Amino acid sequence: MGEKMTFRQIFLSKWVPALITAGIGGLVVALLVPMFQTDYAEKAALKKRKIELWESIGNNFTNYMTFRSSLNTAALSEREMVKEKKFPSKEFLERKESYRRERDRYANDLRRDFLLAGYYFGSEIQKEINAFLNWHRQYRIATVDKLPPDEEYAKWRDKIMLVIRSQLQ
Protein backbone atom coordinates (compact mmCIF):
# COMPACT_ATOMS: atom_id res chain seq x y z
CA MET A 1 0.00 0.00 0.00
CA GLY A 2 1.03 3.52 -0.16
CA GLU A 3 2.83 5.65 2.22
CA LYS A 4 0.82 7.33 4.92
CA MET A 5 0.58 11.10 4.62
CA THR A 6 0.72 13.34 7.58
CA PHE A 7 -1.86 15.98 8.23
CA ARG A 8 0.63 18.63 7.21
CA GLN A 9 1.32 16.94 3.88
CA ILE A 10 -2.38 16.52 3.19
CA PHE A 11 -3.04 20.12 4.13
CA LEU A 12 -0.22 21.48 1.95
CA SER A 13 -0.87 19.26 -1.05
CA LYS A 14 -4.67 19.19 -1.12
CA TRP A 15 -6.08 22.11 0.86
CA VAL A 16 -3.68 24.98 0.24
CA PRO A 17 -4.10 25.00 -3.58
CA ALA A 18 -7.90 24.92 -3.15
CA LEU A 19 -7.78 27.75 -0.60
CA ILE A 20 -5.52 29.85 -2.84
CA THR A 21 -7.83 29.29 -5.81
CA ALA A 22 -10.90 30.18 -3.73
CA GLY A 23 -9.17 33.28 -2.34
CA ILE A 24 -8.12 34.53 -5.76
CA GLY A 25 -11.56 33.74 -7.21
CA GLY A 26 -13.25 35.51 -4.33
CA LEU A 27 -11.04 38.56 -4.78
CA VAL A 28 -11.78 38.69 -8.51
CA VAL A 29 -15.51 38.39 -7.87
CA ALA A 30 -15.36 40.97 -5.10
CA LEU A 31 -13.71 43.44 -7.50
CA LEU A 32 -15.65 42.72 -10.70
CA VAL A 33 -19.21 42.33 -9.42
CA PRO A 34 -19.45 45.85 -7.96
CA MET A 35 -18.06 47.29 -11.21
CA PHE A 36 -20.72 45.49 -13.24
CA GLN A 37 -23.44 46.43 -10.76
CA THR A 38 -22.38 50.10 -10.85
CA ASP A 39 -22.26 50.09 -14.64
CA TYR A 40 -25.70 48.49 -14.83
CA ALA A 41 -27.15 50.92 -12.27
CA GLU A 42 -25.72 53.91 -14.13
CA LYS A 43 -27.10 52.69 -17.46
CA ALA A 44 -30.51 52.01 -15.92
CA ALA A 45 -30.58 55.46 -14.30
CA LEU A 46 -29.58 57.11 -17.59
CA LYS A 47 -32.26 55.24 -19.52
CA LYS A 48 -34.85 56.21 -16.90
CA ARG A 49 -33.83 59.87 -17.18
CA LYS A 50 -34.01 59.71 -20.98
CA ILE A 51 -37.53 58.25 -20.81
CA GLU A 52 -38.57 60.97 -18.34
CA LEU A 53 -37.16 63.64 -20.67
CA TRP A 54 -38.94 62.10 -23.67
CA GLU A 55 -42.22 62.17 -21.74
CA SER A 56 -41.60 65.74 -20.62
CA ILE A 57 -40.97 66.86 -24.20
CA GLY A 58 -44.20 65.19 -25.32
CA ASN A 59 -46.23 66.71 -22.48
CA ASN A 60 -44.74 70.19 -22.76
CA PHE A 61 -45.05 70.23 -26.55
CA THR A 62 -48.68 69.11 -26.38
CA ASN A 63 -49.54 71.64 -23.67
CA TYR A 64 -47.76 74.39 -25.61
CA MET A 65 -49.84 73.49 -28.67
CA THR A 66 -53.07 73.43 -26.65
CA PHE A 67 -52.57 76.87 -25.12
CA ARG A 68 -51.22 78.29 -28.36
CA SER A 69 -54.36 77.14 -30.12
CA SER A 70 -56.61 78.51 -27.35
CA LEU A 71 -54.80 81.86 -27.46
CA ASN A 72 -55.11 82.04 -31.25
CA THR A 73 -58.83 81.25 -31.08
CA ALA A 74 -59.33 83.92 -28.42
CA ALA A 75 -57.37 86.47 -30.47
CA LEU A 76 -59.45 85.74 -33.56
CA SER A 77 -62.65 86.02 -31.52
CA GLU A 78 -61.49 89.32 -30.06
CA ARG A 79 -60.70 90.61 -33.55
CA GLU A 80 -64.23 89.72 -34.69
CA MET A 81 -65.76 91.39 -31.63
CA VAL A 82 -63.88 94.61 -32.33
CA LYS A 83 -64.94 94.52 -35.99
CA GLU A 84 -68.55 94.29 -34.85
CA LYS A 85 -67.98 97.15 -32.38
CA LYS A 86 -68.39 94.79 -29.45
CA PHE A 87 -65.83 94.83 -26.73
CA PRO A 88 -64.58 91.73 -24.98
CA SER A 89 -65.55 91.28 -21.35
CA LYS A 90 -63.04 91.47 -18.54
CA GLU A 91 -63.40 87.69 -18.03
CA PHE A 92 -62.69 87.08 -21.71
CA LEU A 93 -59.52 89.20 -21.57
CA GLU A 94 -58.39 87.49 -18.36
CA ARG A 95 -58.93 84.07 -19.92
CA LYS A 96 -56.98 85.16 -23.02
CA GLU A 97 -54.16 86.40 -20.79
CA SER A 98 -54.13 83.10 -18.90
CA TYR A 99 -53.79 81.27 -22.24
CA ARG A 100 -50.81 83.50 -23.10
CA ARG A 101 -49.13 82.87 -19.74
CA GLU A 102 -49.61 79.12 -19.99
CA ARG A 103 -48.42 79.04 -23.60
CA ASP A 104 -45.29 80.95 -22.60
CA ARG A 105 -44.69 78.72 -19.57
CA TYR A 106 -44.88 75.55 -21.66
CA ALA A 107 -42.74 77.13 -24.39
CA ASN A 108 -40.04 77.84 -21.77
CA ASP A 109 -40.30 74.31 -20.37
CA LEU A 110 -40.05 72.92 -23.89
CA ARG A 111 -36.95 75.00 -24.65
CA ARG A 112 -35.33 73.67 -21.46
CA ASP A 113 -36.23 70.10 -22.49
CA PHE A 114 -34.84 70.70 -25.98
CA LEU A 115 -31.54 71.86 -24.51
CA LEU A 116 -31.30 68.73 -22.35
CA ALA A 117 -32.33 66.50 -25.26
CA GLY A 118 -29.29 67.67 -27.20
CA TYR A 119 -27.05 66.47 -24.37
CA TYR A 120 -28.87 63.20 -23.69
CA PHE A 121 -29.69 62.12 -27.25
CA GLY A 122 -26.97 63.69 -29.37
CA SER A 123 -26.71 65.32 -32.77
CA GLU A 124 -29.52 63.50 -34.58
CA ILE A 125 -32.19 64.85 -32.26
CA GLN A 126 -30.45 68.24 -32.08
CA LYS A 127 -30.77 68.54 -35.87
CA GLU A 128 -34.53 67.88 -35.65
CA ILE A 129 -34.95 70.33 -32.79
CA ASN A 130 -32.97 73.02 -34.63
CA ALA A 131 -35.03 72.45 -37.77
CA PHE A 132 -38.23 72.89 -35.74
CA LEU A 133 -36.92 76.01 -33.98
CA ASN A 134 -35.87 77.55 -37.31
CA TRP A 135 -39.29 76.78 -38.78
CA HIS A 136 -41.02 78.16 -35.68
CA ARG A 137 -38.87 81.31 -35.61
CA GLN A 138 -40.32 82.53 -38.91
CA TYR A 139 -43.74 82.91 -37.25
CA ARG A 140 -42.61 84.92 -34.22
CA ILE A 141 -44.06 88.20 -35.45
CA ALA A 142 -46.81 86.82 -37.65
CA THR A 143 -50.35 87.96 -37.08
CA VAL A 144 -52.75 85.38 -35.77
CA ASP A 145 -54.31 84.77 -39.19
CA LYS A 146 -50.85 84.05 -40.67
CA LEU A 147 -49.84 81.41 -38.13
CA PRO A 148 -49.51 77.78 -39.24
CA PRO A 149 -52.33 75.40 -38.33
CA ASP A 150 -52.19 73.17 -35.26
CA GLU A 151 -51.56 70.15 -37.49
CA GLU A 152 -48.16 71.53 -38.51
CA TYR A 153 -47.09 71.72 -34.88
CA ALA A 154 -48.40 68.19 -34.31
CA LYS A 155 -46.28 66.93 -37.22
CA TRP A 156 -43.15 68.51 -35.71
CA ARG A 157 -43.95 67.13 -32.26
CA ASP A 158 -44.51 63.63 -33.63
CA LYS A 159 -41.34 63.74 -35.72
CA ILE A 160 -39.20 64.80 -32.75
CA MET A 161 -40.83 62.23 -30.48
CA LEU A 162 -40.21 59.43 -32.98
CA VAL A 163 -36.52 60.31 -33.36
CA ILE A 164 -36.09 60.23 -29.59
CA ARG A 165 -38.08 56.99 -29.24
CA SER A 166 -35.82 55.31 -31.80
CA GLN A 167 -32.88 56.04 -29.50
CA LEU A 168 -34.65 54.63 -26.45
CA GLN A 169 -35.11 51.18 -27.95
58-74, pLDDT tens digit by residue? 999 999 999 999 999 99
Structural domain spans, the chain = 48-168
Residue 29: the pLDDT is 67
Task: Work out the pLDDT band at 44, boundaries 50, 70, 90.
Answer: confident
Task: Work out the pLDDT band at 96, boundaries 50, 70, 90.
Answer: very high
Are 125 and 118 contacting, i.e. CB atoms less than 8 angstroms apart? Answer: yes
pTM comes to 0.77
CA angle 28, 34, 41 (to 5 degrees): 150
Contacts of 69 (CB under 8 A, 6+ apart): 150
The answer on pLDDT for 90 being more than 80 is yes
Query: 3 versus 127: which is more confidently predicted?
Result: 127
